[in-house]
Amino acid sequence: MEPTKQPQSDVYDTFSKSWKVYIQGMEESLHKLEKDIDEAAEMSDKCTSEWCTATEHVIDELANSLFSIHEPRFSDKEDSQKIRSMKKKVHELYAKYKSVAP
């Protein structure tokens, strides 16, 4: 008879993988947003009222998501550092956005 794995083991493994994907997705979103803001800074015609409204909503959503994260107990120091860095980055992006917005 084979020894059985603890049922929680599979749950934690799945959750841990999903957590890593979530953190990676947040990082990618911040990088894309930064690229858009940088491009808008170079092209004055891109910074329309619609663009500004949409960009501000994206920044708000990312900030809300980042600041409402409850880190699971199995997250490592690297994940915690990434979250802190992303929180700082969202503040920086908002400041950069405000300098581009009319």
Judged against a pLDDT cut of 70, whether residue 4 lies above it is answered with no
* Residue 19 forms part of a structural domain: no
* Residue 89 forms part of a structural domain: yes
Judged against a pLDDT cut of 90, whether residue 88 lies above it is answered with yes
* Residue 94 forms part of a structural domain: yes
* Residue 42 forms part of a structural domain: yes
Domain limits at 71? 26-100
Q: What is the C-alpha separation between 3 and 12, in angstroms, rounded?
A: 19
Contact 97, 59 (CB under 8 A): yes
**Average pLDDT value for residue range 54-76:** 89
**Number of structural domains the chain divides into:** 1
Q: What is the C-alpha separation between 97 and 78, in angstroms, rounded?
A: 28
* Residue 4 forms part of a structural domain: no
Task: Give me the chain's average pLDDT, please.
Answer: 85
